[in-house]
Chain A
Amino acid sequence: MNPYLAGTLLGLVLLLAMVVSGRGLGASGGVKYCVVSIVGAVSPQHVESSEYYSKYFENSKKPLTNWLVLEIFGVVAGGFISGAVSGRLKLKVEKSPKITVSRRLIFAFLGGVFFVYGGQLARGCTSGAALSGMAVLSVAGFVTMITIFGSAYMFAWVFRKNWI
Chain B
Amino acid sequence: MAPLSSLYVFPEWLNMLMAFLIGTGFGFALEQAGFSSSRKLAGMFYGYDATVLKVFFTAAIVALIGSQFLGFFGVLNLNQVYVNEFYVTASVVGGFIMGAGFIMGGFCPGTGICAMSIGKIDAMVFVAGGFVGAFLFTETYSLIEGLATAQYRGPVKINEVLGLSPGVFTMILVVAAVGMFWLAELAEKRFARPDITNDL
Contacts and interface: CB of A to CB of B under 8 A. Distances in A.
A77 B19 CA distance: 12
Given A75-B26, A93-B120, A156-B46, A114 B105 contact: yes
Contacts of A72: 23, 113
Of the four ranges (under 10, 10 to 19, 20 to 34, 35 or more), the interface on chain B belongs to 35 or more
A156 B63 CA distance: 30
Interface of A is mostly: helix
Contact of B28 (A22, A35, A81, A126): A81
Nearest to A151: B99
A1 to B, nearest CB: 4
A69 to B, nearest CB: 8
Contacts of A12: 62-63, 66
B175 interface: no
B28 A120 contact: no
Nearest to B155: A138
B121 A156 contact: no
Contact of A120 (B78, B115, B134): B134
Nearest to A46: B139
A115 B133 contact: yes
A28 B55 contact: no
A38 B132 CA distance: 12
Of the four ranges (under 10, 10 to 19, 20 to 34, 35 or more), the interface on chain A belongs to 35 or more
Interface in A1-48: 1, 3-4, 6-25, 27-28, 31-32, 34-36, 38-39
A79 B157 contact: no
Interface string A131-154: 111111111111111111111111
A11 B138 contact: no
A79 B86 CA distance: 31
Contacts of B84: 123-124, 128-129, 132-133, 136, 138, 140-141
B134 A18 contact: no
Given A82-B32, A108-B126, A121-B90, 5 more contacts: A7-B33, A15-B63, A88-B118, A146-B95, A151-B99
Chain A to chain B: the 8 pairs with minimum beta-carbon distance, closest first: A111-B105, A74-B23, A151-B99, A112-B129, A147-B95, A11-B62, A7-B58, A122-B94
